[in-house]
Copies of this chain bind each other. A is one copy, B any other.
């Protein structure tokens, strides 16, 4: 997927979106950013992605204003935060079809602890919650034996709010 890979179909916003976040690794990088990862080395070790590719992806995401660099850290911009529903929808589909033990992660409204549906609507207060107000925790389908033992993963598998730095 070359960078200006210009899916010819300009009249479909899906094609446009895929030009930005459709490359291999990109959405996983964005996911990790939501999970609180901010530094080059943490992205690299968490994803097992070749460093050269990571450099390219981060550069591109910054250029496209999905991430911004602040004090050497990579942070999601407002535009990047709006990708949360995309990730959420994909995770829901993956849980539904590839996780027989139930969802691997559970999402709650941090303010009132209400469970969030796949559209991030809170079962307690009824509001649609945006990313910074989401708390994420291991769900019934989470497999501890499958988790890598490094300290960063351990932190990520602990209940925590989205975007909270490690």
Given contacts A22-B24, A143-B10, contact A85 B79 (CB under 8 A): no
Cβ contact within 8 Å between B5 and A24:
yes
A14 lies within 8 A of B1 (CB):
no
**B103-A93 in contact (CB<8A):** no
Number of copies: 2
A111 within 8 A of B: no
**Those of A141-155 within 8 Å (CB) of chain B:** 142-143, 146-147
By a CB distance below 8 angstroms, the chain B residues around A46 are 9
In this assembly, does A13 line the interface, its C-beta being within 8 Å of a C-beta of chain B?
yes
The verdict on A118 contacting chain B, using a C-beta distance below 8 Å, is yes
- Closest chain B residue to A139, Cβ basis: B13
Cβ contact within 8 Å between B143 and A13:
no
What residues on B are CB-neighbors of A5 within 8 Å? Answer: 24
Chain B CB within 8 A of A92 CB = yes
B-side contacts of A10, CB under 8 Å = 143, 146
Which chain B positions have C-beta within 8 A of A13? 90-95, 98-99, 103-105
B-side contacts of A146, CB under 8 Å = 10-11
The reply to whether B83 and A93 contact each other, CB–CB distance below 8 Å, is: yes
**A47 CA / B18 CA spacing, docked (Å):** 14
Interface residues, chain A, with chain B CB atoms under 8 Å away: 1, 5, 7-18, 21-24, 27-28, 31, 46-48, 79, 82-83, 85-99, 103-105, 118-119, 128, 142-143, 146-147, 157
